[in-house]
Amino acid sequence: MTPLPVSRLTVLACWLVLVLIWFVPLGWRALFSPDEGRYASIGLAMLQSGDWITPRLNGLLYFEKPIFQYWVTAASLAVFGINEFAARFWPATSGFLTIVAVGFTARRLWGPLSGAYAALLAAGTTWISANSHFLTLDMGLTFFQALSLCAFLIAQSDDAKERERRNAMWVCWAAMAGATLSKGLVGIVIPGATLVLYSLLQRQFGFWRRMHWGSGLLIYFGLAAPWFIAVSLKNPGFFDFFFIREHFRRFLTDEARRTGEAWYFVPVLLLGAMPWTTMLPQWLWGGSQREKSEAFQPARVLVIWSVFIFLFFSVSRSKLPSYILPMFPALALLGAYWLPRADPRRLRWHLLAPAAFWLVAVGAWFVTDWFVSETQPLTVVRPFMDMLASSGLVALLACVLAWWLLGRGRKLVAVALVSFASVMGVSTVMLGHDHYSYQMRSSKNVAAILEPYGTDVPVFAIRFYDQSMPFYLRRPVTLVDYRDEFTYGQNAAPDLWIPTVEGFVDRWQSLPRAAAVMTPDIYAQMLERKLPMRLVYEDPRRRVVVKPEEVKP
Listed residue (64, 161, 109) closest to 340, CA to CA:
109
- Strands 459-462 and 515-518, sheet pairing: parallel
Report pLDDT for 553.
42
Average pLDDT over residues 238-263: 82
CA distance 386 to 373: 17
- Model confidence at 438, pLDDT cuts 50, 70, 90, reads confident
Residue 303: count other Cβ atoms within 10 Å of its Cβ: 24
Radius of gyration of the chain (CA): 25
Q: Summarize pLDDT for 449-491 with one digit per residue, the tens.
A: 999 998 889 999 999 999 999 999 999 999 999 998 899 999 9
The secondary structure element, H or E, covering residue 479 is strand 478-480
Give the residues across from 460 on adjacent strands.
Answer: 478, 516
- CB–CB of 422/395 below 8 Å? yes
Q: Which pairs from 380-387 meet CB under 8 Å and 24+ separation?
A: 380/435, 380/436, 380/439, 380/440, 381/436, 383/432, 383/435, 384/429, 384/432, 384/433, 384/435, 384/436, 385/432, 386/432, 387/428, 387/429, 387/431, 387/432, 387/433
- Model confidence at 552, pLDDT cuts 50, 70, 90, reads very low
Average pLDDT over residues 503-518: 94
The secondary structure element, H or E, covering residue 33 is none
- Model confidence at 320, pLDDT cuts 50, 70, 90, reads very high
Whole-number mean pLDDT of the chain? 93
Q: Summarize pLDDT for 286-317 with one digit per residue, the tens.
A: 887 766 666 889 999 999 999 999 999 999 98
CA distance 142 to 101: 11
CA distance 342 to 338: 7
Amino acid (one-letter) located at 192: G
CA distance 215 to 505: 60
- CB–CB of 533/548 below 8 Å? yes
Q: Report cis status (omega within 30 of 0) of the bond before 344.
A: no
CA distance 421 to 408: 20
Work out whether the CA dihedral 497, 501, 503, 508 comes out positive or negative: positive
List C-alpha distances in Å: 452 to 172, 432, 466.
51, 29, 20
Report pLDDT for 475.
95
Percent of the chain with pLDDT over 90: 81
- Model confidence at 4, pLDDT cuts 50, 70, 90, reads confident
Decide: helix, strand or coil at residue 61.
strand
Q: Which pairs from 408-414 meet CB under 8 Å and 24+ separation?
A: 409/344, 410/344, 411/339, 411/342, 411/344, 411/347, 412/4, 412/5, 412/6, 412/113, 412/116, 412/117, 413/6, 414/344, 414/347
pLDDT value at 194 more than 90: yes
Listed residue (119, 143, 98) closest to 6, CA to CA:
119
Work out whether the CA dihedral 443, 444, 449, 450 comes out positive or negative: positive
Give 257-286 as a 3 state SS string: CCCCCCCCHHHHHHHHCCCCHHHHHHHHHH
Q: Summarize pLDDT for 45-79 with one digit per residue, the tens.
A: 999 999 999 999 999 999 999 999 999 999 999 99
pLDDT value at 551 more than 60: no
pTM of the model: 0.94
Average pLDDT over residues 397-415: 95
- Model confidence at 252, pLDDT cuts 50, 70, 90, reads confident
* Helices and strands in the chain, H and E counts: 25, 7
CA distance 535 to 68: 40
Q: Summarize pLDDT for 94-131 with one digit per residue, the tens.
A: 999 999 999 999 999 999 999 999 999 999 999 999 99
Strands in 15-163 per DSSP E? 56-57, 60-61
**DSSP designation for 319:** -
CA distance 222 to 315: 32
CA distance 42 to 64: 12
- CB–CB of 37/447 below 8 Å? no
pLDDT value at 255 more than 80: no
Q: Which residue has the higher pLDDT, 226 or 456?
A: 226
